[in-house]
């Protein structure tokens, strides 16, 4: 989805006004005062709130936004192929690494206070109202008759986080790699749908597909804020999802101020209000749609991280998700997914 938003200068009756135009129309601001944001699918509604607030700041007055949202891997490949972008805000680090390799993003993009991250979340299990299948843990997902909905790792970054959380839950409980692979084969055998993106997966689930949806916690909370009727479970073992953001080498002048706002206390609090776990302490925040709005972000008993538990994305992406091209071996999870015909 692509759209253009122009933030009017806060003067008179136009203060804070957002003017939306189709992506084929012309912008009232020239390219020097336009920020092209290319993001992963579930970011769209959260960014809408931040863009409104950014427009009330001095650096944000008169800045236009062009936005494109979709499956993270697809978005990354589109930018590598020439799609305009001033900022990329993607699901996982390899999607930015692709742009570093293409010469679009600087090699030092992580050299900042947040190590290149703009948002974070964890993997949760979304279930139908009342949780009729009594899903409470990862072991419940491989029981007979349980249909799993999770995005396709070939296109979606959120899918990779979901699958690593599932695989890692076995290791976290003391299991071996063989135990984890056995579990994942049964897991893939129960997959009912592999939509292209996290947002598409949520849509499929709410339209009746499957019994459990693996999702970013923020996506589950945001859907409930929007009136979607489902429950979600924070499992005892999950993974910390860290979403990278980076400026392109040719980024327009206001893009740095926009990214600084995203990482600021105000920006992080706004992200928290739409379900993201803040990168820094933002004080007390009430999050409607959370299981407990006044204490919205419970800590799982075991919280895995990509660096500590999987060796970082430089290792994990090939080890688990390699596609077997150029003579490289297929990744562990790619092979298991293929073995059950997914």
pLDDT score recorded for residue 342: 75
The predicted structure's pLDDT at residue 268: 98
Structural domain boundaries enclosing 28: 2-119+243-273
pLDDT confidence of residue 25: 36
CATH code for position 90: 3.40.190.10
The answer to whether position 285 is within a domain reads no
pLDDT of residue 328: 81
Domain total in the chain: 2
Q: Is residue 181 one of the residues assigned to a domain? A: yes
Averaged in consecutive runs of 10 residues, what is the pLDDT profile of the chain (342 residues)? 39 32 39 92 94 98 97 96 98 97 98 98 98 98 98 92 98 98 98 94 96 97 96 98 98 98 98 97 96 98 98 96 87 94 76
Domain annotation covers residue 21: yes
Q: Kindly tell me the sign of the dihedral angle through the C-alpha atoms of 285, 288, 290, 295.
A: positive
pLDDT of 27: 40
Is 288 domain-assigned?
Answer: no
Asked if residue 253 and residue 199 are part of one domain, the reply reads no
CB 66 within 8 A of CB 27: yes
β-bridge partners, 123 = 216
Q: Judge whether 164 lies within some domain.
A: yes
d(CA 89, CA 93) in angstroms, rounded, equals: 10
Cα–Cα distance for residue pair 49/71, rounded to 1 Å: 21
Instruction: Name the pTM for this structure.
Output: 0.89
Q: Are strands 302-304 and 117-127 parallel, antiparallel or unpaired?
A: unpaired
Q: How is residue 308 written in tokens?
A: 């500590």
Instruction: Identify whether residues 72 and 110 lie together within a single domain.
Output: yes
Residues 51 and 162 in one domain: no
Q: Is 69 exposed, middle or buried (0-12, 13-18, 19+ CB in 10 A)?
A: buried
**54 and 192 part of one domain:** no
pLDDT at 256: 98
Q: What is the pLDDT of residue 20?
A: 33
- 323 with 207, same domain: the answer is yes
Same domain, 146 and 69: no
């Amino acid at each position: 989805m692509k759209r253009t938003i122009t933030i009017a200068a806060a003067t008179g009756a136009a203060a804070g006004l957002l003017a939306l135009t189709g992506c084929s129309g012309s912008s009232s601001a020239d390219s020097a005062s336009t920020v092209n944001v290319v993001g992963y699918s579930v970011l769209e509604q959260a960014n809408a709130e931040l863009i409104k607030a950014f427009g009330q700041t001095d650096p944000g007055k008169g800045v236009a936004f062009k936005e494109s949202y979709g499956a993270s891997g697809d978005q990354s490949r589109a930018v590598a192929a020439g799609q305009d972008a001033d900022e990329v805000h993607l699901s996982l680090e390899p999607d930015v690494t692709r742009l570093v390799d293409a010469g679009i993003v600087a090699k030092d993009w992580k050299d900042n206070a947040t190590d290149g991250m703009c948002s974070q979340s964890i993997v949760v299990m979304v279930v139908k109202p009342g949780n009729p299948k009594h899903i409470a843990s990862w072991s419940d997902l491989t029981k007979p008759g349980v249909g799993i909905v999770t995005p396709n790792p070939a296109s979606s970054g959120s899918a990779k986080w979901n699958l690593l959380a599932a695989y890692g839950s076995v290791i976290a409980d003391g299991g071996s790699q063989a135990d984890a692979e056995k579990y994942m084969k049964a897991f893939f055998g129960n997959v009912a749908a592999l939509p292209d993106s996290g947002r598409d997966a949520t849509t499929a689930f709410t339209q009746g597909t499957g019994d459990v949806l693996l999702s970013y916690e923020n996506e589950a909370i945001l859907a409930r804020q929007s009136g979607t009727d489902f429950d979600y479970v924070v499992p005892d073992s999950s993974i910390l999802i860290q979403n990278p953001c980076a400026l392109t080498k040719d980024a327009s002048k206001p893009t740095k101020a926009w990214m600084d706002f995203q990482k600021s206390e105000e920006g992080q609090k706004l992200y928290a209000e739409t379900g993201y776990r803040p990168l820094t302490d933002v004080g007390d925040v009430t999050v409607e749609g959370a299981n407990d709005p006044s204490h919205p972000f419970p800590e799982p008993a075991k919280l895995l991280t990509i660096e500590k538990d999987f060796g970082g994305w430089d290792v994990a992406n090939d080890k688990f998700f390699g596609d077997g091209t150029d003579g490289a071996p297929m990744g562990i999870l790619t092979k298991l997914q293929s073995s059950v015909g997914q």
